[in-house]
Chain A
Amino acid sequence: MKVITVTLNPALDREFIIEEFTVNAYHRIKGQNHMMMNPGGKGINVSMALAKLGVSSIAIGIIGGYTGRVLLTELNKVSPLISTSFVHIEEETRENIVIVDPVNHTMTSINSPGPRVDRKAVELLLKRYEIYLSRAEAVVLSGSLPQGLTGEIYGKMAKKAKEKGRMVFFDMIDEYLTEALEICVPDVVKPDVRGSLTILGERLESLEDYVEAAANLVKRGCKLAVVSYEIKNDVVATQDGVWLISTEEKVDPENILGAGDAYVAAMVYKRLTEKNVSMLEVARFGYAAALAKTRKLAKEMPEYEEISEALKSCRLERLR
Chain B
Amino acid sequence: MMVRDVTAVTQDETVENVVRIMATQFLSGIPVVTEDMRVIGFVSESDVIRAAIPGYFSLLQSTTFIPDMSQFLKMAAKLKDKPIREIMTHPPLVVNENASLAHVADLMIKHNVKILPVVDEHGRLLGVITRTNIVRAAMEGYL
- Contact with A85, one of B6, B13, B24 (Cβ below 8 angstroms): B6
In the complex, A128 has a CB within 8 A of chain B: yes
Q: Flag the segment in B33-41, B68-76, B77-85, B135-143 that touches A.
A: B33-41
The answer to whether A135 touches B25 (Cβ under 8 A) is no
Q: Flag the segment in A76-84, A244-252, A268-276, A283-291 that touches B.
A: A76-84
- Contact with A80, one of B4, B9, B35, B124 (Cβ below 8 angstroms): B4
Q: Pull 18 A–B residue pairs with CB atoms less than 8 Å apart, ordered by A.
A: A1-B6, A58-B6, A84-B6, A84-B7, A85-B6, A85-B7, A88-B21, A88-B25, A89-B24, A124-B17, A124-B21, A128-B7, A130-B35, A131-B8, A132-B6, A132-B37, A134-B36, A135-B124
Known contacts: A127-B10, A134-B35. The answer to whether A76 contacts B3 by CB under 8 A is yes
Bound Cα distance from A83 to B25, whole angstroms: 16
The answer to whether A83 touches B5 (Cβ under 8 A) is yes
Residues from chain A with a CB closer than 8 A to the CB of B9 are 127
Give chain B's interface secondary structure class: mixed
Q: How far is the CB of B31 from chain A (nearest CB, A)?
A: 11
Bound Cα distance from A135 to B122, whole angstroms: 12
CB < 8 Å A-B pair total:
49
The answer to whether A131 touches B21 (Cβ under 8 A) is no
In the complex, B123 has a CB within 8 A of chain A: no
In the complex, B127 has a CB within 8 A of chain A: yes
Bound Cα distance from A132 to B37, whole angstroms: 7
Apart from A124-B21, A128-B8, A131-B10, list 20 A-B contacts with CB within 8 A: A1-B6, A76-B4, A80-B4, A82-B4, A83-B4, A83-B5, A83-B6, A84-B5, A84-B6, A84-B7, A85-B5, A85-B8, A88-B21, A88-B24, A124-B17, A127-B13, A128-B7, A130-B35, A131-B35, A134-B37
Bound Cα distance from A124 to B20, whole angstroms: 11
Q: How far is the CB of A205 from chain B (nearest CB, A)?
A: 46
Bound Cα distance from A127 to B21, whole angstroms: 13
Q: How far is the CB of A20 from chain B (nearest CB, A)?
A: 41
Residue of B whose beta carbon sits closest to that of A135: B37
Number of interface residues of A (CB under 8 A): 22
Q: Which residues of B contact A (CB under 8 A)?
A: 3-10, 13, 17, 21, 24-25, 33, 35-37, 124, 126-127
Residue of A whose beta carbon sits closest to that of B25: A88
| Per-position binary interface string of chain A over residues 67-103, scored 1 when its CB falls under 8 Å from any chain B CB and 0 otherwise | 0000010001000101111111110000000000000
Bound Cα distance from A134 to B125, whole angstroms: 12
Residue of A whose beta carbon sits closest to that of B27: A88
Residues from chain A with a CB closer than 8 A to the CB of B37 are 131-132, 134-135
Residues from chain A with a CB closer than 8 A to the CB of B127 are 83
Bound Cα distance from A86 to B7, whole angstroms: 7
Bound Cα distance from A272 to B89, whole angstroms: 38
Bound Cα distance from A85 to B9, whole angstroms: 11
Q: How far is the CB of B85 from chain A (nearest CB, A)?
A: 15
Q: How far is the CB of A222 from chain B (nearest CB, A)?
A: 29
Bound Cα distance from A305 to B24, whole angstroms: 41
Residues from chain B with a CB closer than 8 A to the CB of A85 are 5-8
Bound Cα distance from A13 to B24, whole angstroms: 23
Enumerate A199-241 residues with CB–CB distance to B below 8 Å.
none
Bound Cα distance from A132 to B9, whole angstroms: 11
